[in-house]
């Protein structure tokens, strides 16, 4: 198992390195592009360009630039540096640090919702295949996978915020509301309710489908028949014996989805005006704030790679077969 994990961690680091390198090539070393000009953004002055050229060393050979770029990304205090925003001159790390709590909040709430919703719908469907429950679940899943996130978000906003509010029932806050958890936990949850529901409904469909097919397959296995033959209650058979081994594909998917939300739920944040990484990156692209864009891309990639390694570790715990391979 340690071997397995070591291999996965090394693969993860290689993946991260490939992405970091691609970002470098894409932004700093693309032929025919002046990276200083790109980094300067809209408020460009000759003095600023010179400053950037000096800071990043764009007149040095590409390989030296690349080496310095890698050095700036080594997570050691004093050395780690993602640059400064070309709009408000704040360090990119500060901007990211301000945005990340929102993404964590989004991820925590919606993940709980989508896991509970997705898995329970999946289990219901798998326990009675072809029943009315199963058909209902199919409709839920198909609607979920057919529904673009922004449409669901807009629909929820229209019905639950706009229609209710113009009729004098202002239950849900207006888009753009955000209260830190430390300030007022209740208000925090209230502000995040609609984004949570949006993310959860969209994501839960995948989990229902995965749970259903995986559980159906497991319940057909011989050891489940043995468990039934032993006289275990159906509940115990399904939940203790069946669900546990059906969890592996769900864990994989969970890692990917969690990392995606942490790295910025772009659509949801845009629609509900939440200034997390997703909205920040979209706004940064609009105003050509390249340092911020690069910073967020790198942070998001890190989340994904880290999540994949965690998932692989969980995998090994859940599925003994992985440990030996």
Partner 1 sequence: MPDPAADGDILLGAEDIVKHFPIKEGIFFKHQVGSVKAVDGVSLQVRRGETLGLVGETGCGKSTLARCIMRLFPLTSGHLTFDGADLSTLSRSGMRPYRRGMQMIFQDPYGSLNSRRRVGSIIGDPLAIHHVASGAERRKRVQGLMEVVGLNPEHYNRFPAEFSGGQRQRIGVARALALHPKLIVCDEPVSALDVSIQAQIINLLEDLQGEFGLTYIFIAHDLAVVQHVSDRVAVMYLGKIVEVADVKDLYSTPHHPYTNALLSASVVADPDKARTRDRIILTGDVPSPINPPSGCRFHTRCPKAQPICSTEEPLLKSGVGDPPGHVTACHFPVAEGEKLASEKATILHAVEGFLAEAPT
Partner 2 sequence: MSLSTVEAIAGDLPPEDPAVKGIQGRTPLQLVVARLRTDRVAIISIVVILLIIILAIAAPLIAGITGHGATDANVDTGTDASGQPLPPGSAGYLLGTDNLGRDILVRIAYGARVSLLVGVLATAIATIVGVVVGLFAGYFGGWLDGILARIMDVVLSFPYVLFAIVLVSVFGSSLPLVILVIAFFSFAAIGRIVRGQALSQREKEYVEAAHSLGAGNLRIMFVDILPNLVAPVIVLATLLIPTAIIFEATLSFLGLGVTPPTPSWGNMLSDAEGVGFQAWWFYIFPMLFLLLTTLAFNLLGDAVRDALDPRAERIFAARRKKAA
Span near partner 1 by CB under 8 A; candidates 3-11, 70-78, 151-159, 165-173? 3-11
Residue 280, contacted partner among partner 2, partner 1, none, CB below 5-8 A by kind: none
| Given 34, 285, 317, 321, the residue binding partner 2 (CB under 8 A) | 285
Residue 87 has a CB neighbour count (10 Å cut-off) of 17
Which of 141, 188 has the CB closer to partner 2?
141
DSSP letter at 174 equals: P
Residue 3, contacted partner among partner 1, partner 2, none, CB below 5-8 A by kind: partner 1
- Confirm or reject binding of residue 162 to partner 2 (CB under 8 A): yes
- Confirm or reject binding of residue 176 to partner 2 (CB under 8 A): no
Residues in contact with partner 2, counted by CB under 8 A, come to a total of 46
Which of 6, 170 has the CB closer to partner 1?
6
Residue 52 exposure: Cα atoms within 13 Å on the Cβ side: 23
Which of 180, 220 has the CB closer to partner 2?
220
- Confirm or reject binding of residue 321 to partner 1 (CB under 8 A): no
Which of 14, 90 has the CB closer to partner 1?
14
Q: Which residues pair with 84 in a beta bridge?
A: 91
- Confirm or reject binding of residue 130 to partner 2 (CB under 8 A): yes
Give SS3 for 91.
Answer: strand
Residue 157, contacted partner among partner 1, partner 2, none, CB below 5-8 A by kind: partner 2
Which DSSP string corresponds to 20-88?
HHHHHHHHTS-TT--HHHHHH-SS--HHHHHHHHHHHTTTS-HHHHHHHHHHHTS--TTT----B-TTT
- Whole-angstrom distance, CA of residue 41 vs CA of residue 4: 45
Sites of contact with partner 1 (CB under 8 A): 3, 6-7, 10
């Amino acid at each position: 198992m340690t071997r397995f994990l070591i291999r996965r961690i090394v693969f993860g680091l290689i993946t991260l390195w490939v992405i970091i390198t691609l970002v470098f090539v894409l932004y700093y070393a693309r032929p025919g592009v002046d990276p200083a000009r790109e980094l300067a953004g809209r408020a460009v002055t000759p003095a600023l360009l010179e400053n950037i050229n000096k800071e990043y060393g764009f007149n040095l050979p590409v390989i030296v630039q690349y080496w310095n770029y890698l050095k700036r990304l080594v997570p050691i205090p004093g050395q780690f540096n993602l640059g400064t925003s070309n709009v408000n001159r704040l360090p990119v790390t500060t901007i990211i640090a301000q945005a990340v709590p929102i993404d964590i909040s989004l991820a925590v709430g919606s993940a709980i919702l989508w896991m509970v919703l997705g898995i329970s719908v999946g289990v219901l469907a798998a326990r009675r295949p072809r029943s009315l429950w199963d058909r209902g679940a199919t409709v839920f899943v198909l609607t979920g996978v057919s529904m673009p996130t922004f449409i669901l978000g807009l629909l929820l906003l229209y019905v639950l915020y706009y229609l209710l509010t113009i009729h004098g029932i202002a239950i849900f806050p207006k888009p753009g509301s955000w209260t830190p958890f430390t300030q007022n936990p209740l208000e925090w949850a209230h502000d995040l309710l609609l984004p949570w529901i949006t993310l959860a409904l969209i994501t839960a469909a995948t989990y229902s489908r995965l749970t259903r097919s995986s559980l159906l397959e497991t319940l057909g296995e011989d050891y489940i028949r043995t468990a039934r033959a032993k006289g275990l209650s159906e509940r115990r058979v399904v939940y203790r014996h069946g669900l546990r081994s059906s969890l592996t594909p769900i864990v994989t998917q969970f890692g990917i989805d969690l990392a995606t939300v942490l790295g910025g739920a772009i659509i949801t944040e845009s629609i509900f005006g939440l200034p997390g990484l997703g909205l920040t990156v979209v706004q940064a692209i609009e105003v050509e704030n390249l340092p911020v864009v690069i910073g967020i891309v790198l942070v998001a990639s890190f989340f994904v790679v880290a999540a994949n390694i965690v998932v692989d570790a969980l995998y090994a715990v859940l599925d003994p077969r992985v440990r030996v391979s």
